[in-house]
Structure 1
Amino acid sequence: MAWREAFRNVPVLMVDDEPKVLDAHRRTLRAHFDLHTAQGGTSALEVMEAQGPFTVVVSDFKMPDLDGITLLAEVADRHPDTVRMILTGYADMDTAIRAVNTGAIFRFLTKPSDPDDLVMAISAGIEHAEMARAAKELEIVRRLKDGFEQTLRAFTRLVEFRDPYTSGHMDRTADIAVMIAERMGMAEDDIAGLRLGAMVHDIGKVAVPSHILNKQGELTDAEFSIIKAHAEVGAEIFKGLGVEWPIARMIREHHERLDGSGYPEGLSGDELLLQSKILCVSDIIDAIITHRPYRHGLGKSEAVGYLLEGRGRLFDAQVVDIALALMDEGRIREPGD
């Protein structure tokens, strides 16, 4: 069976005060696990100190120096992730209840125990330990991601403080991007990365002088060149971030176009991330339908016309079609709707 190979290097400690019982454990279990033995509870604590921690500890109940429940309670205190089991011939209900309450016992096994049943019980304990460890790792990752998101939100507030006219723009763009990605069937984790990238896609505007960001009226060519640099500046901020999502690329590419007419690098077609293509369309929709420093929002009809004109040439056709459907359904709304 697969678990015979998978668990061969997993450390397991068997504890009993009878040498013959430990000999029997070694004969039947060493082929399946990285087996260690200890004669009595006190010896078990010494073995754990020198060779532990162990994934599973299975202890006899009635031992002269330190009974199994007291031993496993100590194991729980020292190594809470270790799976603990009792193996005993004294199987009364009071003993079982005490074992569970005091030692947080995973299994209560009775003697004599069939070798195959013992192997299966220990294997179940190992699987339980691995699932518990995986759950902890997922929780750590979730907390890191939550903390990372809060950091990104702080960045967005910084940009919006300098550029009040784009207040909420990055969050709204993220909402639109997520709706499009979900409709496309994008993987959940990729959607999470897209949302975070969209939340900070204009972060490079921190390097643009406030008088240009907030200028009333049309920008000069020189001023527009400064504005255009925000994609590269933003990408540099997040370059080498060490996260699993290509956030820097999304920031750098959100003003690129399918035909290579965008900026900053003039990328085209398959050179662009799908996330960047989604972010591009989402950014354009919100920019058109909401107020800007130099004009009022132009409304959804203007956004629809602009996207249709560039469909398949400037913008990904599938992304445009989904965005148009979302607008038609009322999922993407104009300010005040």
Structure 2
Amino acid sequence: MISPQHKTYDSKLRNFLIRWTSPPGFTREDGIRYWQDRLLFTLLFAGVVLGAFVYFPSVALCIKEKLWSVGIADTIIYIWIIVLFFRRSIPFAVRASTFIIISYILGMVLLLTIGPFGAGPVWLFAFPVIAGLLLGLQSSLIALSVNAVTIILMGLLIASGHLEWDYATINAPEKWTVISLNFMLLNSVVSISVAVFSRGLQTLLEQEKSMLISLEQNHAELLKSNRQLEREMRERKRAEEDLRRSLERLQVTMKGAIQAIAVTVEIRDPYTAGHQLRVADLSSAIAKELGFSKEQTEEIYLDAAVHDIGKIALPVEFLVKPGQLSEMELELFKPHAEMGYKILKPIGFPWPIAQVVLQHHERMDGSGYPRGLAGEEIVMEARILGVADTVEAMASDRPYRPALGIDKALEEIQRHRGVLYDPAVVDACLKLFTEKGFEFTARGT
């Protein structure tokens, strides 16, 4: 497993090589020229490092065989490559042209001194290929022309007897001609293919550069649009903040109005003084226990605080009558939920307070009033209010009976859990009283 320290060293070495091999004055955005300079650096690097393994044995052999011209030529060429490698301030075209000429000279020296079966033809073959890679198609064609002239001249020297090698197959002019034609054909195919590919790559990189410029322009426009949007967002946030403050003031006003309505109702019914506010306390506590948000909990509190507003339409004598109500009187009492709905509906509260007030006497099995709704037809807020209203009514004194006590009230909702009352609401209410110590606070007008 590679240690983090080794990874750090590898990263540092890689970054150093990237900086060292990056051409001065060029970036990736310069397209093919950037990569041509990188290629030249790689070739020179290989010439300096790998060339050392060739240069020193070659010089030793030249000294042994007394091939002084080859040894001197190798030394000059190797020094030349070292200079080109380290002097990167020299313009790229000069360095590339010099390296291309070196490959030609090296090929000629090796061909004339060692013969056609040495490394000379390899370097002559590479001469136009390197020219095409570094300087393009035109330079590759020039290099091919130089190779063609060189081969023709050497053929003339062979035919005239001024150039002889120790190879009978090469010294025959007609055989040299056949070999030369094959050499030039293959050399032309490879060199021109490489140069054409390089030109196509250059075209592709230029297109990508053009696309990049276009993308940068689009990016700049997007940044400008983004700044404009940010300004608009700030203005919108200020407007939203102003609206929020206005809504808060409106909520305060609405809460005050609701509380005033609640007090007005209870003034007319002294036996139920504080009933609505106690129901509101329990309803909001149940909502909180069920995981309602703070805003929803406050809304349920206000719903409960005016849930009996419809009683304002009933005669006072009817509200404070001692004793049990008759069947007819109960039927006259039931429309108070519908009346509360009619009173609250036109006001336009931002939450369905009128609907909650309308449904707070509905029951899960459909036996409630005024519309006989059942199950999910009853809004959750009304189901909470229905349980809280039942518990508070049984735990408090009524005109027609004394208080039954909280234990009786809890027993009542538990007995009718899932029948008249929502099971989750009943469970939350029982938990408040039995585990969390909830108690009704004394309320009065």
Deviation for aligned residue 1:229: 1.4
* Matched-pair identity in %: 36
Cα distance change on mapping 1:160 and 1:115 into 2, 3 Å? same
Per-residue deviation, 1:241: 2.5
Aligned counterpart, 2:339: 233
Corresponding residue to 2:399 among 289, 293, 318: 293
Q: 1:330 to 1:252 in 2, by over 3 A?
A: same
Structure 1 residues 162-181: aligned runs within 5 Å: 162-181=268-287
Residue 333 (structure 1) shift: 3.5
In the superposition, the TM-score normalised over structure 1's length comes to: 0.62
Asked whether the 8 Å contact 1:169–1:286 carries over to 2, the reply is yes
Spell out the pairing of 1:138-153 with structure 2 (5 A cutoff): 138-153=244-259
Shift in Å at residue 278 of structure 1? 0.3
Who wins on radius of gyration, i.e. which is larger?
Answer: 2
Aligned to 1:279: 385
1:160 maps to a residue whose letter is E
Partner of 1:333: 440
Paired position in structure 2 for 1:201: 307
What residue is the counterpart of 2:263 in the other structure? 157
TM-score between both structures, scaled by the size of structure 2: 0.47
**1:142 Cα offset (Å):** 1.0
1:322 equivalenced with 2:322 (yes/no): no
In 2, the alpha carbon distance for the partners of 1:334 and 1:313 equals 29
Distance of 1:156 and 1:117 partners within structure 2: 56
Mapping of residues 81-160 of structure 1, within 5 Å: 124-160=230-266
Paired amino acid for 1:217: G
Shift of 1:334: 7.3
Q: Tell me the matched-pair count.
A: 223
Which of residues 217, 233, 243 is equivalent to 2:323? 217
The counterpart of 2:371, out of the listed 257, 265, 271, is 265
User: Mapping of 1:53-72 within 5 angstroms?
Assistant: none
2:278 touches 2:440 (CA, 8 Å); kept in 1? no
Matched, 1:304 2:410: yes
How far is the alpha carbon of 1:132 from its aligned partner? 1.6
Question: Cα distance 1:209–1:128, how it changes in 2: closer, same or farther (>3 A)?
Answer: same
1:246 deviation in Å?
Answer: 1.0
CA distance in 2 between partners of 1:124 and 1:218 (Å): 67
Contact 1:190 1:245 in 2 (8 A): no
Tell whether 2:350 aligns with 1:244.
yes
Say whether the 8 Å CA contact 1:177–1:195 is kept in structure 2. yes
SS of 1:259 mapped into structure 2 = coil
Q: 1:290 touches 1:334 (CA, 8 Å); kept in 2?
A: no
Aligned counterparts of 2:292 and 2:350: Cα–Cα separation in 1: 16
Q: Distance in 2 between matches of 1:251 and 1:180?
A: 17
SS in 1 for 2:351: coil
Q: Which residue of 2 aligns with 1:13?
A: none
Give the letter for the 1:331 counterpart. Answer: F
**Separation of aligned partners in 2, 1:207 and 1:269:** 29
* Larger proportion of strand: 1
CA contact (8 A) 1:193 1:246 kept: no
Q: CA deviation at 1:244?
A: 2.0
- Write the letter of the residue equivalent to 2:267: F
Give ranges in structure 2 of 5+ residues lacking alignment: 1-219
Q: Is the 8 A contact 1:258 1:269 kept in 2?
A: yes
The structural deviation recorded for 1:125 is: 4.0
Distance 1:130 1:253, change over 3 A: same
Shift of residue 316 of structure 1?
A: 0.2
2:428 maps to a residue whose letter is I
Q: Could you list the per-position Cα deviations for residues 283-307 of structure 1 after superposition, in whole angstroms to 9, with x for gaps in the alignment? A: 1111111111122221111011101
Q: Which residue of the partner structure matches residue 187 of structure 2?
A: none
Instruction: Tell me which amino acid in the other structure corresponds to 2:363.
Output: R
**Letter paired with 2:438:** R
Q: Which has a greater percent of helix? A: 2
Shift of 1:179: 0.7
Residue aligning to 2:142:
none
**1:117 and 1:224 mapped to 2: Cα distance?**
70
Cα gap change, 1:119 to 1:239, in 2 (>3 Å): closer
1:254 and 1:277 in contact (8 A); partners too: yes
Aligned amino acid, residue 318 of structure 1? A
2-side partners of 1:297 and 1:129: how far apart? 58
